[in-house]
A and B are shown apart, each in its own frame.
Chain A
Amino acid sequence: MLISKIIGDKRRYRQYRARVGRLPEDYRTAAEAIERYLMHFVPADNESAISEFEDLAELFERVASDGTPIREVVGDEPTEFAEEFARNYTKGGYVPDKERQRLLHGIERATGEREPG
């Protein structure tokens, strides 16, 4: 099924969601914006799909506990970071421009550069 191709193992995906849910709000907002963007890249297989999310959770748990500013994590061009990240798990993919905008705005909300909503 396509959905399992995108999220991989459902149980591990739920665990991933729970980990993101425990992050401080700003980091959660950023991680969710990136997750949404990553959904547009079709992973190579189920294992790649789920490890992509687990690695994302691990990165954000690490930087949240270090207190690293989100901008230092994602850089000035979050789409580039996310695409670089996605490249590890996919063999190709397509991202519509509106999704680029959505990711940029999600990061701006997370870093307080934009009003929520």
Chain B
Amino acid sequence: MGKRTTEMLKGTLEGVVLAILAGQPAYGYEITAWLREQGFSDIAEGTVYALLVRVERRGLVDVAKVPSEKGPPRKVYSLNDQGREYLEEFWAAWRFLSERLEQLREGGR
């Protein structure tokens, strides 16, 4: 994944993570692993963790602590109603942006 892709992904990562959680609850590492499988190889696990802390503090996700074999309990995140609302807004913004960019690429205005 190129530097430019990473830069462009940054602004959308919050929406991407919420969209993943809309599919099913997950813990931090699962989200990072999924992103890497999709080719976003430069994503640091810590960055995803920081992002999850943020969406938790903003009340967009619910958190369940699940005991793990070793280490602290894993925090499993799931999207709540407020998060779903936020995700709708994110997709609307994304639609707007991608339509405009596509028009620009095709030389329209």
Instruction: Tell me, in angstroms, the Cα distance from A76 to B41 when the chains sit together.
Output: 11
A73 in contact with B70 given A88-B50, A88-B57 (CB within 8 Å):
no
CB distance A74 to B29 under 8 Å?
no
CB distance A62 to B71 under 8 Å?
yes
Could you tell me which residues of chain B, from 43 to 66, have a CB within 8 Å of some CB in chain A? 43-47, 49-51, 53-54, 57
List of A residues within 8 angstroms of B84 by Cβ? none
**Closest CB-CB distance, A113 to chain B, in whole Å?**
16
Instruction: Tell me, in angstroms, the Cα distance from A65 to B70 when the chains sit together.
Output: 6
CB distance A73 to B45 under 8 Å?
yes
Instruction: Tell me, in angstroms, the Cα distance from A66 to B45 when the chains sit together.
Output: 12
The main secondary structure of chain A at its interface with chain B is helix
**Closest CB-CB distance, A75 to chain B, in whole Å?**
3
B29 contacts which of A58, A66, A80 (Cβ < 8 Å)?
A66
A81 in contact with B44 given A62-B74, A65-B70, A65-B71 (CB within 8 Å):
yes
Could you tell me which residues of chain A, from 42 to 97, have a CB within 8 Å of some CB in chain B? 55, 58-59, 61-66, 68, 72-76, 80-81, 84-85, 87-88
CB distance B46 to A75 under 8 Å?
yes
A58 in contact with B46 given A88-B54, A88-B57 (CB within 8 Å):
no
CB distance B70 to A81 under 8 Å?
no
B72 in the interface (beta carbon within 8 A): yes
B72 contacts which of A62, A73, A76, A81 (Cβ < 8 Å)?
A62
A84 in contact with B47 given A61-B72, A65-B71 (CB within 8 Å):
yes
B46 contacts which of A59, A61, A64 (Cβ < 8 Å)?
A59
CB closest chain-A residue, reference B28:
A62
6 CB-based A-B contacts, threshold 8 Å: A65-B71, A74-B44, A81-B44, A85-B49, A85-B53, A87-B50
Besides the known contacts A63-B45, A65-B68, A75-B47, 14 further A-B residue pairs in the complex with CB atoms under 8 A apart:
A61-B72, A66-B29, A68-B45, A72-B44, A72-B45, A73-B45, A75-B42, A75-B46, A85-B46, A85-B49, A85-B50, A85-B53, A88-B50, A88-B53
